[in-house]
């Protein structure tokens, strides 16, 4: 099926999500519940209903998909793996934070122009506070992954004043970011982790370990890195939300405090909803929709 045909069921004012793969996403559950609540708040019936759609968009289709958002006058879309960085090239404008991290997870159509935002930073920060308590308890963090989500989480932790170790299987990606003069703050507060030995040491002492890689999306996936060393009482966060990953299982077995990405999903999704509608997001409704889906699974 051509991408143009995938957009035919949409109506002006609808929203959705671009990704590849996309089958696992739970965003439609919580966002459609939120939009239904928003619609019911307008008793005069003049507010047009909006639906949230899933769009499987392959990398070579991304430019066309962005153009179709404008053509079909969607309110906006979320962006997920693997498009969060590449989509920046096809937008009319970027929010300052999105421009800083070079990564977008939310598009908003405003006066015929598409502007990119990133709500993952707020989602991550609020999730940490919700799951692990006051942020002052965390002084050092280790972040795994240098893709779009990893970059955002590093920036969020920098804003929180944390010392960060950063690892990626291909460490040259991080090295190039740290050499960029625009990232002076990173040079002062971020340490590049290259070797397995250094990764084992960093993971053993960090107050917080974050998996921001896609390892765990598939049930067959193992660990994002083999040399990780968890400890009792440590905070361990996995951005993957639809299953308990091997990363989470091993951390839990070591006595760590473990959190999946579900709360981050809700908080970042709530912020996207607010950008699209200008209305406060019904977070409790969004939470309930997700929890009910897990109970039925």
Question: Is the Cα torsion angle 182, 187, 189, 195 positive or negative in sign?
Answer: positive
Rounded to an integer, what distance in angstroms lies between the CA atom of residue 198 and that of residue 104? 31
According to DSSP, the β-strands at 113-117 and 140-144 are unpaired
With beta carbons less than 8 A apart as the criterion, state whether 106 and 118 touch: yes
Q: What are phi and psi for residue 110, nearest 5 degrees?
A: -130, 115
Give the Cα separation of 16 and 170 in Å (integer). 32
11-37 burial, b at 16+ Cβ within 10 Å, e below that, comes to eebbbbbbbbebeebbbbebbbbbbbb
Quote the CA–CA distance of 134 and 154 in Å, as a whole number: 18
Report yes or no: 104 and 122 within 8 Å, Cβ to Cβ: no
Q: Coil, strand or helix: which one is 279?
A: coil
Query: Alpha helix (H) ranges present in the chain?
Result: 3-6, 27-40, 62-71, 96-101, 120-132, 148-159, 172-179, 184-189, 196-205, 246-253, 262-277, 283-296
Q: How many CB atoms lie within 10 A of CB 172?
A: 11
- The DSSP result for 223-246, as a single string, is -S-TT----TT-EEEES--SS--H
Residue 84 is a catalytic residue: yes
Which position among 84, 162, 194, 288 bears the catalytic label?
A: 84
Q: How far apart are the C-alpha atoms of 168 and 175, rounded to whole Å?
A: 10
Question: How many separate helices (H) and strands (E) can be counted in the chain?
Answer: 12, 12
Q: Would you please indicate which residues are annotated as catalytic (active-site) residues?
A: 84
């Amino acid at each position: 099926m051509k991408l143009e045909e995938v957009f035919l069921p949409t109506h002006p004012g609808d929203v959705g999500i671009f990704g590849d793969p996309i089958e696992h996403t739970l965003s439609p559950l919580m966002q459609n519940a939120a939009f239904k609540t928003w619609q019911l708040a307008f008793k005069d019936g003049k507010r047009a209903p909006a639906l949230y759609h899933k769009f499987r968009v392959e990398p070579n289709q991304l430019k066309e998909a962005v153009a179709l958002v404008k053509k079909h006058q969607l309110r906006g879309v979320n962006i997920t793996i693997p498009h969060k960085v590449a989509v920046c090239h096809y937008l009319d404008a970027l929010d300052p934070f999105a421009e800083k991290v070079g990564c977008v997870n939310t598009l908003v159509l405003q006066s015929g122009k598409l502007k990119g935002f990133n709500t993952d930073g707020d989602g991550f920060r609020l999730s940490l506070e919700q799951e692990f308590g006051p942020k002052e308890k965390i002084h050092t963090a280790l972040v795994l992954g240098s893709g779009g989500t990893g970059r955002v989480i590093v920036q969020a932790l920098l804003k929180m004043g944390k010392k960060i170790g950063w690892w990626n299987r291909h460490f040259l990606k991080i090295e190039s970011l740290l050499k960029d003069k625009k990232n002076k703050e990173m040079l002062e507060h971020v340490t590049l982790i290259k070797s397995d030995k250094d990764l084992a040491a960093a993971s053993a002492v960090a107050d917080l370990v974050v998996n921001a890689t896609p390892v765990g999306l598939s049930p067959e996936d193992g660990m994002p890195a083999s040399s990780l060393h968890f400890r009792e009482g440590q905070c361990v966060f996995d951005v993957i939300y639809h299953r308990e990953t091997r990363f989470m299982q091993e951390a839990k077995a070591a006595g760590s405090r473990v959190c999946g990405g579900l709360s981050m999903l809700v908080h970042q999704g709530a912020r996207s909803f607010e950008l699209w509608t200008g209305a406060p997001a019904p977070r409790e409704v969004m939470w309930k929709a997700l929890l009910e889906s897990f109970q039925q699974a």
